[in-house]
Structure formats: C-alpha cells, structure tokens
C-alpha cells in the first residue's frame, strides 16, 4: 500500500510539471510605433549612410525558467525603407532590396545565450531578398527579463554586422562598403 501511494504521488507530481512551467513563459509583441531597424554602411570610404526601416512587426516568447528557450520572429517591411534623400529609391530597387519582389526582411531566433542579466547573443536566421543566412545579434535588455512583471513592457537593442554581398546586394562596390551594421530598436509589450 505504501508503495502504491508513493507511485501515485510521483505520478501526480509528474503530471503537474507542465502546468507549473506554463506560467513561466512571457509573450510579447513589437510596438510598431516605437520600434525600428537601422542599417549603416560606409559610403565613398569617408562617410556613412543609414537606411531606416520604420515599419516592423514581431513576437517574442521567453521562458523565464529556461531563458535559452526563445521564440522570436521579426518582420521588417522593406517597402518603408528610407534614407531621407534620393538614395531611398535606389535601395528599394532591384540592385538592392528589390522591394516589389521581396517586401519583407525577416529574422527568426533559434537560441538565446545570456551574458549577464541584461545582455547576450541571439543566434538566428535572417532572410533578405530571398536569401537566408545565419546571423548573431548582440542584444541588450532594458531590464532583467525574468525580474520584469508579466504586464511590463520590455525594450531590446540588437546589433549585428552582415556582408551585403551574401544577400545579393553587391552593387556599387567602389562607392558603398560591403559591411552593413544593423541595429534593431524594439519596444515589446505583453501580448494579450
């Protein structure tokens, strides 16, 4: 009888585990009005140009008990790309983002590795102009994610450097540098 009771309690405990973990997942959506992506590249070897992507959507799910379990997708509307000058049209064109055929740039996270309470790296895949490549974002959180309340917004800044040629955007190599520094500024609000 004692053995049966022990097995019964063990079974109840095992069945209760998923329910206990469910409350540890925090889900967020990107606050589009307060988020954007910047892409900065060397120009003429002495200056730089920055393209801004002001329209982005995305979701983030974090398990505060197992922070490596990250589920993040960010979609950037390349059609909204702007440089503030005449270069906007060229960058939206076929030699670069070709926004008519490829209107979205996407980042999908695969793994989060924390380095301290408020920062780390996110490894994932970026797709631009129909090409998907692995990238690693260095990220910083506005606050410690697992200390934030479930209804508190969270801001992140993520940076990475890519080689634009790997995404079929190698035009004008003498005028424009190949390395592009990408910075994501995202305000995340709890998903309802």
Q: Looking at per-residue confidence, does 63 or 1 come out higher?
A: 63
Q: Which pTM value belongs to this model?
A: 0.82
Burial class from Cβ neighbours inside 10 Å (0-12, 13-18, 19+) for residue 71 reads: middle
Provide the percentage of residues in the chain whose pLDDT is more than 70.
88
Residue 65: per-residue pLDDT = 81
d(CA 144, CA 120): 11
**Where exactly are the structural domains of the chain?**
25-190
How confident is the model over 158-176, as a mean pLDDT? 95
Q: Looking at per-residue confidence, does 24 or 12 come out higher?
A: 24
Kindly report the CA angle at 51 between 50 and 52, in degrees rounded to 5?
115
Given phi > 0 = left and psi -120 to 50 = alpha, else beta, which region is 126?
A: beta
Q: Which architecture does CATH list for 25-190?
A: Beta Barrel (2.40)
**Mean pLDDT, rounded, of the chain:** 86
- Between 27-31, 64-68, 105-109, the lowest mean confidence (pLDDT) is in 64-68
Residue 147: per-residue pLDDT = 77
d(CA 47, CA 192): 44
How confident is the model over 27-36, as a mean pLDDT? 94
Kindly report the CA angle at 127 between 125 and 130, in degrees rounded to 5?
145
Residue 23: per-residue pLDDT = 66
User: Measuring CA to CA, how many Å separate 189 from each of 19, 47, 153?
Assistant: 24, 36, 4
**Residue 62, pLDDT above cutoff 90:** no
User: Please, which pLDDT band fits residue 31 given cuts at 50, 70 and 90?
Assistant: very high
**Segment 173-191, tens digit of pLDDT:** 999 999 999 999 999 999 9
Residue 164: per-residue pLDDT = 97
Residue 6: per-residue pLDDT = 38
d(CA 121, CA 113): 5
Provide the percentage of residues in the chain whose pLDDT is more than 90.
62
């Amino acid at each position: 009888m004692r053995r049966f009771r022990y097995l019964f309690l063990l079974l109840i405990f095992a069945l209760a585990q998923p329910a206990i973990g469910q409350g540890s997942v925090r889900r967020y959506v990107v606050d589009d009005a307060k988020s954007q992506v910047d892409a900065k590249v060397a120009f003429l070897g002495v200056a730089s140009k920055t393209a801004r992507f002001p329209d982005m959507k995305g979701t983030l799910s974090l398990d505060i008990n197992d922070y490596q379990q990250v589920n993040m997708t960010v979609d950037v509307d390349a059609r909204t790309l702007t440089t503030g000058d005449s270069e906007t049209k060229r960058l939206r064109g076929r030699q670069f983002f070709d926004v008519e055929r490829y209107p979205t740039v996407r980042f999908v996270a695969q793994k989060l590795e924390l380095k301290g309470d408020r920062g780390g790296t996110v490894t994932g895949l970026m797709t631009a102009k129909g090409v998907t490549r692995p990238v690693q974002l260095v990220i910083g959180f506005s606050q410690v994610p697992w200390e934030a309340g479930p209804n508190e917004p969270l801001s992140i800044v993520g940076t990475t450097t890519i080689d634009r040629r790997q995404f079929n955007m190698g035009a004008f190599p003498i005028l424009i540098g190949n390395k592009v520094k990408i910075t994501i500024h995202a305000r995340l609000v709890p998903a309802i």
